[in-house]
A and B are shown apart, each in its own frame.
Chain A
Amino acid sequence: MFDDFFIRALVAGLGVAFVTGPLGCFVVWRRLSYFGDTLAHSALLGVTIAYSLEFNIALSVFIISSLIALILVQLQNRTNLPGDALLGLLAHSSLAVGLVVIGFLTFIRFDVMGLLFGDILAVTVDDLYIIWIGGALILLVLKLIWKGLFASTVNYELAEAEGLNPDRAKAIFTILMAAIIAISIKMVGLLLITGMLIIPAAMARNISDSPQKMIIYSIIGGLLSVIIGLFSSLEFNTPSGPSIIAAALFLFVISLFKIKQTIKLKN
C-alpha cells in the first residue's frame, strides 16, 4: 500500500497534521510564531550535518534545533537585545551557515529547493515510521504537561503559585517544537513548517470559543489542508508543501466569513 509515493505523502502529511494542530495552538497562544520560524531555519544546518556525517536527518535536526533553542535562552539572559532581534539573528545566521556548509559538500547532490519547501517524492517508508511514532510520542508528552503548560499560558503566576511548575512545562514544550520540526521537515520544508503550525490554528481561533474546540478544529484544518493540498498538487502539478500551505490559507479565509456572519447575527 505504501508503494505509491502519493499514498506515502498523504499518510505522512496526515501524521504531521495531527501533531501540528495542538502544538500550533500553543504557538499562537504563546506568541511563538517567530520562535518556531527560527527553529525551522536552523533545521537546514541540521540537515547538512546529517548529510556530511551520514547521520539520521530527523535526529540531527532535532539536536540542532534544541541546541539553537538553548542558545536563544542563554542569549536572552546574557544580553540586553530584544527577543525578536535575537530570533532574527539566530534564524538567519543558522540558515546562512547551513547554506555555506552545503557549498562545501560538493560531493553530495543537494536538492535545496526540496529542503526549503518540502518534497513529496522524498518521503520513504522509514520516514512514515518516524512521523507516526515520533508524532505519537510528542502528543503523549504534550498530554502529560498539558495542565502546567496551559495554565501558565493563561497566567504564569497562577500556575506557579498553585504548584504547576510552569518553567519545566515551557522547557519541555520547546523540545517538542524542535521535535515536530525534525519529523516534518521533509514533508513541508523548513520555510513552510511554521505555516503548518500557525495557519490551521489561526483558522481554528476564528471559529472556536473554548481551548478544546480550537485544538480540535486546528487538527481538522490541518488534515483538510494536507488532503486538499496534496490532491491539488497532483492535479495541477504544483509543489506539494506550498500547495498544502495554500490550502490552509484557503480554509483560513473561509473561517473569516464565518466571523462576519456571527457578528451580523449578534447585531
Chain B
Amino acid sequence: MSSNNNVLVKMNNAGYRHNDKWLVQGVSLSVEKGKIVTLIGPNGSGKSTTAKIALGILKKIDGSVEKYTNKIGYVPQKISIDWTLPLRVYDFMILTENLDEKTIDEALSLTGVIHLKDKSLGNLSGGEFQRVLLARAISKKPELLVLDEPVQGVDFTGEIALYELIKKISDELNCGILLISHDLHTVMSATDHVVCLNGHVCCSGTPIDVAKNTEYKALFGEQASQILTRYEHKHDHVHTIEGKIKKN
C-alpha cells in the first residue's frame, strides 16, 4: 500500500439497505491515484450499489465514505434520459463542466465518436451512446473515474480498444478508476485490485489472489479461475510504490 494521501475514495464497512433488504453490506475498499480497482460479482451482488455509495449518490448508508476529490467522472450502468429535452452530443459533453472545443473533440476522437458531435443524443445506438458516455467522463480529466459496465453494447473490437483506452487514461492522467465489469478476461489483464462481491465482499486482492480463492471458484466456477491464472504471465510491467509504471 502506498502512502495515505494517494487515496481518492475510501469506504469503511459501508452498506445500503432498501425496503429492509440489504443490497450490499460491509464493503471496505479504497481507490488510489493511478490504480484500477475492479468490482466483480454475479447479478444483484451489489456492484452498482457499491459504486453509488462511493460516489455519494446514495446517502442513507451504513458505515462511512471518505472522498478526497471532487473531480469525478461517472459512467452509470443505466441512464434514462427524457427526450422532451433536445440534447446534442455536444450539449451532453458540457453537462457538468464547461470544456473548450478542443478538449471535447479530443475526448470524442479517443472513443471514436467525433463524427456524432452534432447529432441528437436520442438518435444514437446503444454502443454509440456508451462511447459518448465514456468520452464525457474522461474529457473532464477527472482524478477519479467510476465506470459501471462502460463497454456494454459496444462491438467486440471496440470493446478491446475501449478497455485499452481506459488503461491508458489511468496511466496518463494518473487517476484512480473504480471499474465494474462482467468481462473477466479484460478485468484481470489490467486491474490492480479485484473486489469480488456477493452482497458482501466475498474476497479481494490482486487478480491472482482472487482467482485462487475458493469462494471465488464457488461463485464463478473452475473455468473462470483458469481465465485469471492465465493472465499471470501477461503482465509486462510492474507498479512502483509511487504508482508509476515500470516496464519489465
Question: Could you list which residues of chain A lie within 8 angstroms of chain B, going by C-beta atoms?
Answer: 28-29, 31, 147, 150-151, 153-155, 157-164, 205, 208-214
Cross-interface CB contact of A151 among B70, B72, B86, B96, cutoff 8 Å? B96
A154 touches B92 (CB 8 A): yes
What separation, in Å, do the CA atoms of A147 and B55 have in the docked complex? 19
What separation, in Å, do the CA atoms of A239 and B221 have in the docked complex? 76
**In the complex, residue of chain A having the shortest beta-carbon distance to the beta carbon of B92:** A154
Question: What are 6 A-to-B residue pairs whose CB atoms are below 8 Å?
Answer: A151-B96, A154-B92, A157-B76, A160-B56, A161-B146, A210-B88
Interface residues of B in 39-66 (CB under 8 A from A): 52, 55-57
Main secondary structure of the interface of B (DSSP, over half): loop
Cross-interface CB contact of B85 among A158, A160, A164, A211, cutoff 8 Å? A211
A157 neighbours in B (Cβ, 8 Å)? 52, 55, 57, 74, 76, 79
B96 touches A153 (CB 8 A): no
A150 touches B95 (CB 8 A): yes
B76 touches A205 (CB 8 A): no
Distance of B173 from chain A, by nearest CB (Å): 16
A160 touches B55 (CB 8 A): yes
**In the complex, residue of chain B having the shortest beta-carbon distance to the beta carbon of A26:** B85
Distance of B100 from chain A, by nearest CB (Å): 16
A211 neighbours in B (Cβ, 8 Å)? 85-87, 91
A158 touches B56 (CB 8 A): no
Distance of A24 from chain B, by nearest CB (Å): 12
B70 touches A208 (CB 8 A): no
B20 at the interface (CB under 8 A from A): no
What separation, in Å, do the CA atoms of A91 and B56 have in the docked complex? 35
B191 at the interface (CB under 8 A from A): no
A147 touches B96 (CB 8 A): yes
B81 at the interface (CB under 8 A from A): yes
Interface residues of B in 90-122 (CB under 8 A from A): 90-92, 95-97, 120
A154 touches B73 (CB 8 A): no
B172 at the interface (CB under 8 A from A): no
Distance of B179 from chain A, by nearest CB (Å): 15
A153 touches B76 (CB 8 A): no
B56 neighbours in A (Cβ, 8 Å)? 160-161
Cross-interface CB contact of B74 among A153, A161, A205, A210, cutoff 8 Å? A161
